[in-house]
Structure 1
Amino acid sequence: MSSAVTDESPAPTKGLSSGSLGLWGNTVIGLASTAPAYSLAATLGYVVLAVGEKSPAMFLIAFVPMLLTAIAYRELNSVMPDCGTTFTWGSKALGPWVGWMGGWGVAVSGIIVLANVAEVAAVYFLRAFGLDQVAESRIAVLLLGVGFIAAMTWVSYRGIIVSERLQNVLVVFQFIVLGGLSILALWKVYAGTAGPQAVLPEWSWFSPVGLTSSAIAAAVILCLFIYWGWDACLAVNEETKDLARTPGRAAVLATVILLVTYCLVAVAVQAYAGFGTTGIGLNNEANIDDVVTVLGGPMLGPVMAFVLLLVIAVSATASTQTTILPTARGTLAMAVYKAVPGQFARVHPVFKTPSFSTIVMGVTAGVFYIVLKLLSEDALFDSIASLGLAVAFYYAVTAFACVAYFWRSIFRSTRNFFLRGLFPVLGGAGMVWAFGISARDMLDPEYGYTSFGGVGGVFVIGVGMLALGVPLMVACAARLSLRPFFRGESLNRETPVLVPDFEPPRGGL
């Protein structure tokens, strides 16, 4: 069996660069994909709007299904370290149609977020260098945003090692700034030098008591967005050392690091800014889109304000690149198992990256961004609000695939019962709950910035993008060369994992 795949001759071993990443490099890719600085800046204000001072509680609540889902990812990866992740696991455990839609959910998430993080990177870079008037120009921002997508697509095309080295710099920069800002803010609050608007942190901020289910669901779906992305470290599993264990450990480690960071920043921002309706208060509607940089200027002056603008731009840029990695590898796996046309199985003979899939993902995201940006910026904003639906969907597919795949062994040990049964079921149920409650609320035409025919634009974009996968799947199923997949022949429970040097675990599952 060939160990490499070229543009001229695709082979089933995929041909990615095996053994290139260690635990830290893998974790960095998961962290970078979440864009922690940008996610907090763009989302924290809306979480506070939904639940007041209890935003830390929402980060804790959203963390639970995320951790449980990460456990499901880890367990599945331990026996099937395939870069197709949700697609491959869902197809093996739940059948080809569910698996294909799970893979589509991953692709939808990538397309939506790429358009938005490119916009954010462009705007914040311009603002950081004092070009506020240029940042108000739709065409200037569009051109720069498309440039970021093109540049990060090129980095992803050039190889996983280049990607990891870039992300090491970008991720460390983000966490140093976020951690330093939070510690300094809390120091000033407890020293009494933060100003009259500041409030002391309270333990009640970590409790959801007193909130309605709708408020919790709205906040949790926002928090799912800021946690989303850690699974990128599973998508590069075939390029990781000890591929059956390291990616799963990196996924759990990344979610824990994010939980600590998000709670620390949320407490620091709330304590320093307070909840007033004027100035830097969190209930001032002028601050809702970016409470982090609003806070930085008054606290640290113009130099730190520049650094905060720059770190958010860097965060969005890092996410642009790491979002391409899992989506391109997902479509690569789909092509190898004959679920999509064979061109997507092409891997560059030198760089060992999914060449065709990477380019297609970059071009698709660029076109999606251009269309929404030119037609309606409000629709672009609503598309990111809809992202949680796609994320909850494919995370749920993965969690339930874990239970279905390991069903025969769940009751053989206490470990299996919890890690392959109960925890994934609870994680999947949490995702379904968040999806259902949020979809119901998104139907309201007042939800978000747009509406279509009396239905909220966020719902139309979120559900519509997922639903678009159905006719695409049917079109693939109609192709003679792809029918083996949809008949369960090219990928099923017994299909060996097409990864070089991987020995499947012995014994029944």
Structure 2
Amino acid sequence: MSADTAVTQPPPPPPPPSSSPASSASPDGLAKTLGVRQGVVLALANMSPTVSIGLGLGMIGAIVGTGIPATYLIACLPILGIAVGYARLSERDPNAGTTYMWVRRALGPWLGFLLGWIGVATAILFLAYGTQLAGQFTLGVAAELGVDVDPLNSMDWATGIGIVWTAAIAWTAVRGVQVAARVQGILFGFAVIVVTAVCIAAFFGLGKGGAESSFDIAWFNPFGFDSTSVMAGGVLMAAYTFWGWETAFAVSEENVDRKVAGKAGLISIALAAAMFVFAGAAFQRALTPEEFAEYGANALPYLTDKMFGGQGALVAYLAMLLSTLACLQSSVIGGARLTMAMGRNGVLSERWAKLHPKFRTPAFSTYVTVGISLVLAVVGVALGKLSDVIMATVNAVGILVSFSYGVVGLACVLLFRRELRDSVRNMLTMAILPGLSGIALIALGGYMIKLNWAASDHLAFDATNGRFLVVVPMAIIILGIPIAAWNHFVRKPDYFTLPRSVDPDHTV
């Protein structure tokens, strides 16, 4: 049986939806309870566009000037193209391992494992970073409330506070993905309301600060940049603010039917793009180029304070805190499902695949993944240099994301290559969109490597050093090779030993 035959088998009918996790799951399976709405919440929370608006929009504005809306319109195109490929793959083969399993079937277990390793490494390192970020935002809220945080204004305190938040998030995630989605809806919903209100006020000049410039349709012109390098620099940053939408596919085995993940992923990207474009236009109406350059990552608190005065910055910090917590929870859910998939086909110990007897969630994977990230957060503060590695991974995650997304786009074309002539829809959604988008993202990643390397004339162990921002993601990729070799030649799990045409999970 060929790999193509395995992929093109008609899927079995999905189980009927149920509001009871126990009744909708097999004795050893995940609960199938999620619909499109929950998937959108999970994906949006992981993308966390409100945090990206708060931390990244000002930095993008400092690069592209008045081209923020056009930058995001360009950046979302390859992301949507890859998401279309994900949707077709997930509809045919809903699997918690997502790229880790799909790439195995198209390109073999070595490259599939490498993508799985990248997913696990980035999830754990991001959780360590997000833990500290949640603590910092908590201190920011406290400071705006009038609390004297000077004695607490350190990474030690920020990390300690963040650990409490992340531990609570892990406990909630284990109690069920539906519970987690409801919590995220509240946390992320508040943040969206706040950021939207600020952007509306800024766009229409309703606040105390008024408007600094008139609206110009040229802001949306993709050909209106000062130079190609300016456009590329902005698009690079903007494209990776969408990172996290794939969480909608990580829970595909918990969806009520096979099309839920694809719909949720595409809807979440479209909504995030709309938020980014509108926020970009609003920021450009209310802030001067000098303010963009000066405040950068603090543009949202500054803008909120400028528009509303008084407690404006407090509301902005609170919104970013709640959005960060929702993002952490989605990251926990996605990372735990990936390690669960690795556990059930032998790449990790089978304990990683164990489900909670009541809630039918990967409890062991959740707690151990979070535990490792918290240890890294603590050790990073203690050693200092490890924090640089964590920060460099986050700053340069675009290189890893480009590689992963790009490979999946090419894998989609290979897996469905014998179905492309069946219809125009197949050609478009199985080959043209994912294939071209995959090539574009790999090219963007390569350009990011070039820019970062050229930004410094020497290598230094510093999260702001351009060459260090190239070395760290490359080291993560290279480290996966001996780990894959140890699995292949020593542990010999099903993932490496079975033919590509056979599913080592035995789930579909």
TM band (smaller chain): 0.7 to 0.9
**1:440-460: CA deviation from partner (whole Å, max 9, x where unpaired):** 222246399954799622112
Deviation (angstroms), 1:361: 1.2
Output the aligned Cα RMSD. 2.5
Partner of 1:456: 467
Contact 2:139-2:153 within 8 A present in 1 as well: no
1:140 aligned to which of 138, 157, 163: 157
The answer to whether the 8 Å contact 2:341/2:505 transfers is no
Alignment of 1:377-456 (within 5 A): 378-444=388-454, 446=456, 451=461, 456=467
State the alpha-carbon separation in 2 of the partners of residues 80 and 370 from structure 1: 38
Distance across 1 between alignment mates of 2:400 and 2:479: 12
Structure 2: distance between partners of 1:407 and 1:497: 24
Contact 1:373–1:380 under 8 Å retained in 2: no
Answer with 460-469 or 404-413: which moved more: 460-469
Quick check: 1:34–1:228 contact (8 Å CA) kept in 2? yes
CA distance 1:421–1:320, shift in 2 (3 Å): same
Which residue of structure 2 aligns with residue 246 of structure 1? 260
CA distance, structure 1, for counterparts of residue 193 and residue 457 of structure 2: 35
**AA aligned opposite 2:67:** K
Counterpart position of 1:361: 369
Alpha-carbon distance change, 449 to 323 in structure 1, aligned in 2, over 3 angstroms: farther
2:111 matched residue in structure 1: 98
Which of residues 180, 203, 206 is equivalent to 2:220? 206
Tell me, yes or no, if structure 1 residue 112 matches structure 2 residue 120: no
Q: Which residue identity is paired with 1:392?
A: S
Aligned counterparts of 1:428 and 1:13: Cα–Cα separation in 2? 36
Amino acid at match of 1:401: A
Residue 445 to residue 350, structure 1, CA distance change in 2 (3 Å): same
Give CA-to-partner distance per residue, 1:73-101, whole Å, 9 cap, x none: 10001110111111111111111111111
SS of the aligned residue for 2:356 comes to coil
1:54 is matched with 67
Q: What does residue 315 of structure 1 align with?
A: 323
2:477 is matched with 466
Take 1:412 and 1:235, find their aligned partners in 2: how far apart are those partners? 29
Counterpart amino acid of 1:384? Answer: V
Mean Cα deviation higher: 203-212 or 412-421: 203-212
Q: In the alignment, what sits opposite 1:263?
A: 277
Counterpart of 2:5 in structure 1 is none
Residues 54 and 94 (structure 1), Cα distance of their counterparts in 2 relative to 1, 3 Å cut:
same
The structure 2 residue matched to 1:329, chosen from 333, 337, 353, is: 337
CA distance 1:51–1:443, shift in 2 (3 Å): same
Match in the other structure for 2:20: none
Match of 1:217 in 2: 232
Cα deviations by residue, 1:404-448 (Å, 9 ceiling, x for unpaired): 110111122101110001001111011101110101222246399
Q: Secondary structure at the match of 1:347?
A: coil
Q: Secondary structure at the match of 2:67?
A: helix
Contact 1:29–1:167 under 8 Å retained in 2: yes
The equivalent residue for 1:506 is: none
Superposed displacement of residue 18, structure 1: 2.7
Give the counterpart of 2:243 among 222, 228, 239.
228
Structure 1, residues 462-493: CA drift from partner, whole Å, max 9, x if none? 222222211221222232442x422344xx23
Contact 1:113 / 1:387 at 8 angstroms: preserved in 2?
no
Q: Which amino acid aligns with 2:378?
A: I
Q: Deviations over 1:366-391 (max 9, x none)?
A: 22322333314555443321111121
- Residues 216-275 of structure 1: per-residue CA shift (max 9 Å, x gap): 333223223311111101101111111x10110000000000000011111101210121
Tell me which amino acid in the other structure corresponds to 1:259: A
Give the partner amino acid of 1:327.
Answer: G
TM-score, scaled to structure 2: 0.88
User: 2:193 aligned with 1:180, yes or no?
Assistant: no
CA distance in 1, matches of 2:57, 2:235: 11
Q: Would you say the 8 A contact 1:109–1:391 is kept in 2?
A: no
1:118-151, Cα deviation, whole Å (9 max, x unpaired) = 2221111111122442552121112112222222
Query: Superposition pairs for residues 490-505 of structure 1, below 5 Å?
Result: 492-495=500-503, 498-499=506-507
Code of the residue aligned with 1:370 in structure 2: it is V
Provide the residue aligned with 2:301 in structure 1. 293
AA aligned to 2:164 is G
Change (3 A) 1:46 1:14: farther
Q: How does 1:132-171 map to 2 (within 5 A)?
A: 132-134=149-151, 136-171=153-188
Write the distance in 1 (CA, Å) between the matches of 2:193 and 2:474.
37
Which of 105-114 and 303-312 deviates more? 105-114
| Corresponding residue SS for 1:282 | helix
Do structure 1's residue 63 and structure 2's residue 71 form an aligned pair? no
**Residues in 1 aligned to 2:460 and 2:323: alpha-carbon distance in whole angstroms:** 27
Residues 52 and 438 (structure 1 numbering): CA distance in 2 closer, same or farther, change over 3 Å? same
Q: Is the 8 A contact 1:382 1:461 kept in 2?
A: yes
Residues 129 and 16 of structure 1, relative CA distance in 2, 3 Å threshold? farther
Distance 1:465 1:246, change over 3 A: same
Shift in CA distance, 206/339, structure 1 to aligned 2, threshold 3 Å: same
| Deviation (angstroms), 1:494 | 4.0
CA distance in 1, matches of 2:246, 2:141: 30
Deviation digits for residues 263-309 of structure 1 (CA, Å, limit 9, x no counterpart): 11111012101212xxxx1122xx11221111101211222321111
Partner of 1:372: 380
* Residues 212, 13 of structure 1: alpha-carbon distance in 2 compared, 3 angstrom cutoff: farther
In the superposition, relative to structure 1, how do residues 438 and 371 fare at CA in structure 2: closer, same or farther (>3 Å)? farther
State, as a whole percentage, how many aligned pairs show the same letter. 26
**Total equivalences in the alignment:** 477
Q: Which moved more, 1:266-275 or 1:373-382?
A: 373-382
Give the gaps of 5 or more residues in structure 1: 4-11, 503-509
Q: Specify the SS of the correspondent of 1:289.
A: helix
Return closer, same or farther for 1:296/1:106 CA change in 2, 3 Å cut-off.
Answer: same
Residue 9 of structure 2: aligned partner = none
Letter in 2 for 1:221: L
Structure 2 residue corresponding to 1:282, chosen from 288, 292, 297: 292
